[in-house]
Structure 1
Amino acid sequence: MLLVFDVGNTNIVLGVFEGDRLLVDWRMSTNIPRTADEYGISVINLFDKAELDYRDVDAAIVSSVVPNIMYSLEHMIRKYFRVEPIIVGPGVKTGINIKYDNPKEVGADRIVNAVAAHEKYKKPLIIIDFGTATTFCAVGANGDYYGGAITPGIKISADALFERAAKLPRIELVKPNTVICKNTVQSMQAGIIYGYIGQVDYIVKRMKSEMKRLGEDNPFVVATGGLSKLIASESTTIDKIDPYLTLEGLRIIYEKNK
């Protein structure tokens, strides 16, 4: 079995593959002060709850945008699973041609998403990942990674409004039925959620126009990440929600490098 980790600023998403089949996936908070043993106990408990034997894991791969967590996580994988993890980064085969000014600046999660989407869809792509930050990535039909845009995630936007405006409450991200709202909570929800949808659609339309000038016509728009369903339900530009895109990308990169 293959154990995969996608380490984000807020959550670690991990999954277990047998061949190309995802057996189970989990989400746990990214907690930098944890030791390798604390991570090990947590992950093994997840295996137990899923009635899987952690000793059947014979490979592991990690992508991370949180450098401070890597020592504990890598040590945990070696100690508890007795395998040497592949770390997504420079020197790892991806099949993607990165056109960034400095390819080392591209986040591992963005590369992994690009690999998965390119392998699955084989067409020009715009990939939107709704995480702590929301990333927009443009990928050509031949696997050229052109670049993209990064915005604050919708939760960061909501938290900033609560923290900087003294009389505004912290809100749940639930979509109201209207934008003309009659109470403060729904007014905030409407402004944040519908405003964010408008931001997404504008950026996608602008990226489509720029990709057309690169010879990449009519890119397919794929959304992933925890809040993709909330935004895609009203978006006019998102073609498909692919919730396991990052985990599948990790499996594909492992296959290219094993």
Structure 2
Amino acid sequence: MLGLPAHVRACLFDLDGVLTQTAKVHAAAWKETFDDYLREQAAREGAAFVPFDAVQDYDEYVDGRPREDGVRTFLAARGVRLPEGAPDDPPEAETVNGLGTRKNNLVLRRIREEGVEPYEGSVRFVQAVREAGLRTAVVSSSANCRDVLVAAGIEELFDERIDGVVAHERRLRGKPAPDTYLEAARGLAVKEDAAAVFEDALAGVEAGRAGRFGFVVGVDRVGQAEQLRAHGADVVVRDLAALMESR
């Protein structure tokens, strides 16, 4: 009834865009952050301002990655390299950490002002997974993962949480490396081939495939089904509830 292979014993879920409707919040915060920086840079250099694309650039360069990796990856695509700075850099600092702080502040402000809504179909699916006796984990690059889970009222649905804070403490590489998903499987005491990964980000799907997980589900919220399949998804759905309806 879950639409999963019989050998799956645990489900590992990304947060933003899979469980909660926060991917659009992150995309908007990245756009505001990068556009402000790119506009200032263009003015200094007398060049044309080319804005950050909140769909294409977001999907390709920042979605699913740790915050600082997102800054580096996108700016590298624009031929820009900034000094790393320090984790406590203020948001006005022209460093990787400074831009990351600026983006995070914008996300937190939007969450405070707008709240967090989970996807109803995802909540029903996770509840069904737990009722079937499968273990569950949330795997996110966000350092705000727990706050988002609490705000959405779904924290109790997960046996394990591997987020940006845990990844930093345990020195785990971020997606598209499989480290955080592998750590979640270890925490649930299941082998990776007995676990399913649920991801909306191309980097996250790559992580699921690189970790040789038993099943990788791509969640297509923005019309990128073919890209998700190309990056390694075994199946692509618009909503997790569709998995229960497919069997």
Specify if TM > 0.5: no
- Would you tell me which structure has more helix in proportion to its own residues? 2
TM-score (normalised: structure 1):
0.29
- Find the structure with the greater CA-based Rg: 1
Q: Which has the higher contact order (CA 8 A, sep 6+)?
A: 2
